[in-house]
Amino acid sequence: TQKKPLIISTWNHGLPANEETWKQIKNGKPTLDAIESGMNIPEGDPNIRSVGYGGYPDREGKVTLDACIMDHNSDCGSVSFLEGIKHPISVAKRVLQNTPHVMLSGEGAFQFALEEGFKEENLLTPESEKDWKKWLEASKYKPVINIENHDTISMLVLDEAGNISGGCTTSGAAWKMHGRVGDSPIIGAGLFLDNEVGAAAATGLGEAVIRTAGSAMVVELMRQGKSPDEACKEIVERIYDKHKNHKDMEYLQVGFIAINKNGEYGGYSLRSGFNYAVYDEDKGNRMEDAQFKMT
């Protein structure tokens, strides 16, 4: 079986992202550029309310974005709490390539984006503004589980050279506090990889993923010999144990995807309803359902 390349992305919006990334890899584009182009699709789609343009705003009506990208050399770039820029994954890639740093945040990330030639845009669509005004009537923060089968898009790639890279992009939790940063831009939480072992990425309630260093742990479990499925399951079990008496439990959902160096992949979530898009030579681009702990 031909196991390379292999692309795996979270949720339904992973399908068009995988499609574009696959095409670019096959055309010989650098893997990071291919990841960027794939993830730009859900970022730019106003109907995807959990990523980029059209994403749900925070409680002040501001759309603030988190994203990161990481390559096989363990180089990474990340932006958090970024406003006014449609494609945070692209800014994250520039942080990786054009700065001595890993992470830029807020106003500084925005200024950097402008210097890199990105243009300021209003990311709050009329639909999201309407939903925000409706939310304001009660102003209750209660994250929705498996938000319309979207949430964060995380993508992991084993490329034709056998190298591993990945990315993650989101508008974060709807109606979050202004300034809230989730797991998605945090290397080790929303995304982690070690080119000698494999890669993992998360979706769901970022707070729970940060508390447990989720993606980094999945990679370490694979290093110890666990399969991607087993490693994702073990960290989800751990997150459940840590949260079963926690105030977040009521709306807690987390899901992980993982790949290893041998081209094996897997995923696991706390609650049912999590699926991911997988693209390989054998079976093409398709959705697969993750195993889960509870409904």
Of 23 and 142, nearer to ligand SD4 (C-beta) is 142
Question: 22 or 256, CB closer to ligand SD4?
Answer: 256
Closer Cβ to ligand SD4, 5 or 42, answer by number: 42
Residue 28 among known ligand-binding residues: no
Task: Catalogue the E-assigned strands of 177-274.
Answer: 191-194, 198-204, 254-260, 265-271
Q: Which is nearer to ligand SD4, 31 or 154 (CB)?
A: 154
Take residue 232 and report the two structure tokens written for it. Answer: 């994702």
206 assigned binding-site residue: yes
User: At closest approach, how far in Å is the CB of 255 from ligand SD4?
Assistant: 9
Q: How far is the CB of 88 from ligand SD4 (least distance, A)?
A: 12
Q: 197 Cβ partners below 8 Å, 6+ apart?
A: 219, 222, 223, 260, 261
Residue 157 annotated as lining a ligand binding site = no
* Spatial contact of 269 and 233, defined as CB atoms under 8 Å apart: no
For residue 152, indicate whether it is catalytic.
Answer: yes
- Of the candidates 71, 273, 93, 55, the one whose C-alpha atom is nearest the C-alpha of residue 182 is 55
Strand locations in the chain (E): 6-10, 64-70, 76-83, 103-105, 153-158, 164-170, 191-194, 198-204, 254-260, 265-271, 275-280, 284-289, 291-294
Q: How far is the CB of 41 from ligand SD4 (least distance, A)?
A: 18
- Binding residue per annotation — 181? yes
Q: CB of 248 within 8 A of CB of 208? A: yes
Asked if residue 188 belongs to a known ligand binding site, the reply is no
Binding site for ligand SD4 (CB under 6 A): 50, 143, 151-152, 170, 172-173, 182-184, 203-206
CB of 27 to ligand SD4, least distance (A): 31
Residue of 31, 152, 170, 212 marked catalytic: 152
DSSP secondary structure code for residue 143 in this structure: P
Whether the Cβ atoms of residue 60 and residue 26 lie closer than 8 Å to each other: no
Per the annotation, binding residues for substrate are 180-183, 203-206
Per the annotation, binding residues are 180-183, 203-206
Give catalytic residues, as residue numbers.
Answer: 152
